[in-house]
């Protein structure tokens, strides 16, 4: 789902940056206005969990994989505005540190997943999350978050002049729908697990969630340290689409990093390379989200 540099034309990536950053700034302001001090640890823990979950690719079709995006999960646990901020942090660190997604294309990825994706994931829960349709709303929100983000990414490629034969486009869209359905099931499973640990976890920003936060953080560590061993190595839906239309070799990286492709290059063991990179990412996401939360708290109190 992360668009690398080299896929989008200059007018498209520039236009998406012009659209994404004001929208992200507006949502950051909205998040600050309704910010509760007790939610600061929650930002870091949920950001770390979603980052770790995104590292675990699962098979979707023949030669294709997918992974949890997490936009809807963040939206229902943090609210749409704070979720957009946390997802923006995740996408920024992924692009800068792990070279997952382009720097010039960062605005497109933020717009697709952090802005529109979180709002699409939140709307069903907002309208139907308080009644009997709560589970369906969570599933539908997660499903829509992936469908909308994928549709925007494909549209941006088409606007960039990438030719897509109808058969290839149809297969890709079908795979995105499968990924969206899996996203819905995984998001609902995590949502129910969180409410099973503490039924007020979603509803109230109370400070007595230490045990739940610790459980989520432990799950994130296990995903980053152990789950990577079992993750599929097949390309995800967008990467497969790029291969099928012949643009995969256009992907560019403007600089190198020690943790590119989620591997610590100087280590010999394949597992240690992946696990150490994942754990480093968890720390970076957790600290960045905590710092943003504390900054928001201070500015609100001024």
Which helix (H) or strand (E) segment is 58 a member of? strand 58-61
Could you tell me the pLDDT band of residue 204, with boundaries at 50, 70 and 90? Answer: low
Indicate yes or no: pTM above 0.85: yes
Residues spanned by the domain of 61: 10-301
pLDDT, position 201: 67
Tokens encoding 264: 């610590």
pLDDT, tens only, 125-148: 999 988 888 999 999 999 999 999
Residue 213 confidence class, pLDDT cut points 50, 70, 90: confident
Rounded Cα distance between 179 and 68, Å, is: 8
Q: What is the pLDDT of residue 206?
A: 46
* Statement: residue 207 has pLDDT above 70: no
Residue 190, pLDDT > 80, answer yes
Supply the pLDDT for residue 200: 66
**Residue whose tokens read 């007595």:** 208
Number of domains in the chain: 1
Residue 123 in domain: yes
Q: If residue 24 lies in a helix (H) or strand (E), which one and from where to where?
A: helix 10-33
Q: pLDDT tens-digit profile of 26-66?
A: 999 888 886 676 677 888 999 999 999 999 999 887 789 99
Question: Is position 163 within any domain?
Answer: yes
Q: Using alpha carbons, select from 78, 80, 72, 70 the residue that is nearest to residue 50.
A: 70
Residue 119 lies inside a defined structural domain of this protein: yes
pLDDT single digits (tens) 264-284: 988 889 999 999 999 999 999
The pLDDT tens digits of the residues spanning 57-73 come to 998 877 899 999 999 99
Q: Report the alpha-carbon distance of residue 116 to residue 148 in Å, rounded.
A: 7
The answer to whether position 3 is within a domain reads: no
Q: Is 145 within a domain?
A: yes
Joined together, the tokens standing for residue 292 give: 């943003």
In a domain, 5, yes or no: no
Residue 139 falls within a domain, yes or no?
Answer: yes
Q: Which one, of 159, 229, 233, lies nearest residue 3 by Cα?
A: 159
Q: CA angle, 178 as apex, 174 and 182 as ends, to 5°? A: 165
With a cut of 80, say whether residue 18 has pLDDT above it.
Answer: yes
Residue 1 lies in a domain: no
CATH code, domain with 20? 1.10.1760.20
Among the listed residues 238, 197, 289, 281, the one whose alpha carbon sits nearest the alpha carbon of residue 112: 238
Cα separation values, 185 from 53, 118, 239, 244, Å: 14, 17, 23, 28
């Amino acid at each position: 789902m992360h668009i690398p540099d080299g896929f989008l034309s200059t007018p498209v990536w520039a236009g998406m940056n012009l659209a994404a950053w004001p929208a992200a700034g507006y949502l950051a302001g909205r998040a600050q206005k309704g910010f509760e001090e007790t939610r600061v640890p929650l930002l870091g823990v949920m950001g770390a969990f979603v980052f770790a979950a995104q590292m675990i690719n699962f098979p979707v079709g023949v030669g294709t994989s997918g992974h949890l995006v997490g936009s809807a999960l963040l939206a229902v646990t943090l609210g749409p505005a704070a979720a957009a901020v946390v997802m923006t942090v995740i996408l920024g660190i992924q692009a800068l540190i792990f070279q997952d997604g382009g720097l010039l294309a960062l605005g497109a990825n933020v717009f697709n997943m952090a802005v529109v994706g979180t709002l699409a994931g939140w709307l069903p829960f907002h309208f139907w999350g308080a009644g009997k349709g709560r589970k369906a709303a969570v599933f539908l929100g997660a499903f829509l978050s992936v469908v909308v983000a994928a549709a925007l990414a494909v549209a941006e490629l088409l606007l960039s002049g990438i030719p897509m034969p109808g058969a290839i486009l149809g297969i890709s869209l079908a795979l995105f729908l499968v990924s969206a359905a899996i996203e819905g099931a995984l998001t609902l499973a995590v949502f129910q697990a969180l409410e099973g640990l503490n039924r007020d976890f979603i509803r109230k920003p109370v400070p007595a969630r230490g045990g739940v936060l610790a459980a989520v953080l432990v799950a994130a560590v296990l995903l980053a340290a152990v789950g990577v061993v079992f993750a599929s190595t097949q390309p995800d839906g967008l990467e497969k689409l790029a291969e099928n239309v012949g643009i995969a070799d256009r992907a560019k990286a403007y600089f190198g990093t020690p943790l590119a492709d989620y591997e610590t290059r100087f280590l010999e063991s394949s597992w240690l390379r992946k696990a150490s990179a994942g754990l480093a990412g968890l720390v970076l996401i957790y600290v960045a989200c905590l710092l943003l939360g504390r900054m928001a708290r201070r500015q609100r109190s001024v």
